[in-house]
Amino acid sequence: MTHSDNPAKIEVRNLQKSFRAKHVLRGVDLTIKTGESLAVIGGSGTGKSVLIKNIIGLMEPDSGAIQIDGEDVIGMNPEDRERVTRKFGMLFQGAALFDSLSVWENVAFGLIQSQGMNRHAAREDALAAMVQVGLDTDIAERSPAELSGGMQKRAGLARAIATKPEILFFDEPTTGLDPIMGSVIDDLIVKSVRELGATALSITHDMASARRIADNIAMIYEGRIVWHGPVADIDHSGNEMLDQFIHGRSDGPIQLRVAG
Amino acid sequence: MRPLRAIGRGTIAIFAVIGRISVFAGTSLYHCVRPPFFPRLILRQMIEIGFYSLPVVGLTAIFTGMVLALQSFSGFGFAGEATIANVVVWGITRELGPVLAGLMVAGRIGAAMAAEIGTMRVTEQIDALTTLSTNPFKYLVAPRLIAAVAMLPLLVLVADVIGVLGGFIVSVYDFGFNPTTYLKSTWASLDAAGFVSGLVKAAVFGFLVALMGTYHGYHSKGGAQGVGQATTNAVVSASILLLLFNFIITALFFAT
């Protein structure tokens, strides 16, 4: 599917972020078109998580620009920022379900708190979202701690899509799951993004997952995007760093610093 | 130059911490008075802080009242009902009731708040709140502060009654004082300033315990070890601040 004619949903320009002397983002440029699903790939510590946290607003960048639907979000007042955040849904790496709430209350959280829906109606919508991601509604009253890792990811996905967001973020969606469950979660992600007509940004180092969920791939290395293109092109990109990463080779331009 | 550099660095670090806590407290207070409020969460915290702390505060108070009566009796030699009742009432309502209740709540509730919020921080639950358009200060911090400020005075009120009862039990059943005379002396010993100062202290202590619990939990990092550290810091800092503010409030009420 091509989205090249669509307007930009997320636009990142020359984004820089440092933690003391450590420059994590060194000028990231990225455009995600409306309806596109982009996966940012890269090794551990290359700045993937910092990038997504800056876009969501969990971190403030040192410099650069982030636009959502053409609006500059850096330095936005809290009310406007909250309005923009309502467009987001996010699946966290560890699902990040609230321990103190039941599964359905977790899924309905955004509906109740952000959209002001009453608890009864929100419960109905939450149960529908649970069914959508293949969760049995019998577990609605259970605590998240009683669920397996795969079920927690599904509940996290149900929470992310329950508010019908325009933009979905996925942080390492298959990490910690067995390959079959990883594939199931990927299929659910693809299905959810398509059904919502949402724009999706995923970060992952799992190449199988990236190939399944993304239209386009961007590779980040040492805080910069070193390759960006359609998922179909990654096997003949001519980019040595991308080749090394997708084939998992230890020799090549990417040098891992091993302490000791 | 090295010692001077170390002193300078330490001083800057202390002021940086004071600044961070002040900003955190200011932001929290802003969200305490600005809607939307979360009545269910406030009620849940009130039950957790007020109701479930009653046994530990009650036990502390009764034994403290009993010991106060015993020590007064042995310290003053034979003293009449009026003296013992006076020492117990003043000691409990002005100092020991609020301070001991505050310290007990700091150990029980401050630690629990830091551990719960700290765990939410390291498992990205606080980030999840933000992505769900919910301000963590409004959802996590404000209900705890409101509940602690509301419940500590009530706990201290209960501690005052139970502490005085402890003194009464020892005085009547151990020293053989006349219960009616002792109760009359107790009533006569009550002074409005001492009683009110105890309740004001309790509200301030509640604020400090909740502030330290939420502050350290909110800023915890590094997994289980970080959460453990946050819990320790919450209890230690709340206890020290509580004793410092006890002195300040006492000086404000009673210094001539």
pLDDT digits (tens, 9 = 90+) for B213-228: 999 999 998 889 999 9
For tokens 């969200």, the residue is B31
pLDDT at A48 over 60: yes
The answer to whether A60 contacts chain B (CB < 8 Å) is no
Provide the pLDDT confidence category of residue B77 given band limits of 50, 70 and 90. low
**Six-digit token string for A128:** 């529908």
How many contacts, defined by CB atoms under 8 Å, are there between A and B?
52
Query: Residue range A72-98: average pLDDT?
Result: 93
Residue A29 confidence (pLDDT) = 95
* pLDDT exceeds 70 at position A2: no
Note whether A144 contacts B: Cβ–Cβ < 8 A.
no
Axis crossing angle, helix B39-46 with helix B142-173, rounded to the nearest 10: 20
For A156, half-sphere exposure in the C-beta direction (CA atoms, 13 angstrom radius) is 32
Residues of B in contact with A109 (CB under 8 A): 132, 134
Higher per-residue pLDDT: A248 or B51: B51
Residue A214 has pLDDT above 90, yes or no: yes
- Kindly state the tokens that stand for B162: 């139970």
Evaluate if residue B185 carries a pLDDT over 70. yes
Percentage of residues in chain A having pLDDT higher than 90? 72
Residue A73 phi/psi, 5-degree rounding, is: -100, -15
Q: Between chains, do A90 and B134 touch, taking CB under 8 Å as contact?
A: no
Which of A80, A107, A109 has the most B C-beta neighbours within 10 Å, making it the best mutation to test the interface with B?
A109
Q: Is the pLDDT of residue A124 over 90?
A: yes
pLDDT, residue A177, reads 82
- Residue in chain B lying closest to A169 (CA): B131
pTM of the entire structure?
0.89
State how far residue B100 is from chain A, nearest Cα, in angstroms.
30
Q: Does A53 touch chain B (CB under 8 A)?
A: yes
Say yes or no for a CB contact (<8 Å) between B130 and A85.
yes
Asked if A162 and A108 count as a contact pair (C-beta separation under 8 A), the reply is: yes
Q: Which residues of B touch A106 (CB under 8 A)?
A: none
Give pLDDT, residue A260. Answer: 42
Q: Which of A176, A150, A247, A193 is nearest to A38 (CA)?
A: A193
Q: Identity (one letter) of the amino acid at A248?
A: G
Contacts with A85 from chain B: Cβ below 8 Å:
130-131, 133
Question: Mean pLDDT for chain B?
Answer: 94
Percent of chain B with pLDDT over 90: 86
pLDDT score, position B116: 96
Residue A56 reports pLDDT greater than 90: yes
Q: How many residues does chain B have?
A: 256
Beta-carbon separation of A109 and B139 below 8 A? no
How far B37 CA lies from chain A's nearest CA (Å)?
11
**Mean pLDDT computed over B66-88:** 85
Q: How confident is the model at residue A255 (pLDDT cuts 50, 70, 90)?
A: confident
Q: Average pLDDT in the B2-7 region?
A: 90
Nearest CB to B124 within list A86, A89, A92? A92
Q: Report the DSSP beta bridge partners of residue A204.
A: A41
Burial A82-100 (b: 16+ CB within 10 A, else e): bebbbbbbbbbbbbbbbee
State how far the Cα of B256 lies from the Cα of B254, in Å rounded to an integer. Answer: 6
pLDDT tens per residue across span B190-211? 989 889 999 999 999 999 999 9
Task: Provide the number of structural domains found in chain B.
Answer: 1
Q: Please count the other Cβ atoms lying within 10 Å of the Cβ belonging to residue A234.
A: 22
CA B238, CA B250: separation in Å to the nearest integer? Answer: 18
User: Is A169 part of the contact surface with chain B (CB cutoff 8 Å)?
Assistant: yes
Helix (H) / strand (E) element for A169: namely strand A167-171
pLDDT band (50, 70, 90) for residue B78: low
Contact A96 B132 (CB under 8 A): no
CB contact under 8 A, B123 and A82: no
Range of the domain at B79: 2-254
A52 inside 8 A of chain B by CB: no
A56 and chain B in contact, CB less than 8 A = yes
The dihedral of CA A87, A91, A97, A102: what is its sign? positive
The reply to whether residue A98 touches residue B127, judged by beta carbons under 8 angstroms, is no
Task: Look at A109 and B124 and tell me if their CB atoms are within 8 Å.
Answer: no
Smallest Cα distance from B123 to chain A, Å: 6
Residue B8: helix, strand or coil by DSSP? helix
- Alpha-carbon distance of B105 to B153, in angstroms, equals 12
Q: What is the mean pLDDT of residues B18-47?
A: 94
| Cβ-based neighbours of B239, under 8 Å, separated by 6 or more | B103, B106
Which residues, at least 6 apart from A242, have a Cβ–Cβ distance to it below 8 Å?
A: A219, A226, A227, A234
ipTM value for the complex: 0.90
pLDDT for the residue A254:
85
Mark yes or no for CB contact B125/A99 under 8 Å. yes
Chain A: give the shortest CA distance to residue B250, in Å.
39
Q: Is the pLDDT of residue A68 over 90?
A: yes
B85 pLDDT tier (thresholds 50, 70, 90): very high
pLDDT score, position B74: 84
Residue A26 carries which DSSP code? Answer: E
Task: Please state whether the peptide bond connecting residue B36 to the residue before it is cis, i.e. omega within 30 degrees of 0.
Answer: yes
* In the predicted structure, residue A3 carries a pLDDT above the cut 80: no
| Residue A182 and residue A208 in contact, taking contact as beta carbons nearer than 8 Å | yes
Mean pLDDT, range A206-212, rounded to an integer = 92
Cβ contact A37:A214 at 8 Å:
yes
Q: Do A110 and B123 touch (CB under 8 A)?
A: no
Q: Report yes or no: A114 at the B interface, CB cutoff 8 Å.
A: yes
Specify whether the CB–CB gap between A132 and A157 falls below 8 A: no
**Candidates A54, A84, A111, A113, partner chain B, best to mutate (most B CBs within 10 A):** A113
Could you tell me if A213 and A202 are in contact, meaning their C-beta atoms sit under 8 angstroms apart?
Answer: yes
Cα A113 to the center of its chain, rounded Å:
22
Strands (E), chain A: 8-19, 22-33, 37-41, 63-68, 71-72, 88-91, 167-171, 199-204, 216-221, 224-230
Nearest Cα neighbor of B58 from B179, B195, B157 is B157
Facing B132 at nearest CB: one of A57, A100, A109: A109
Average confidence score pLDDT of chain A: 91
User: What single DSSP character describes residue A137?
Assistant: G
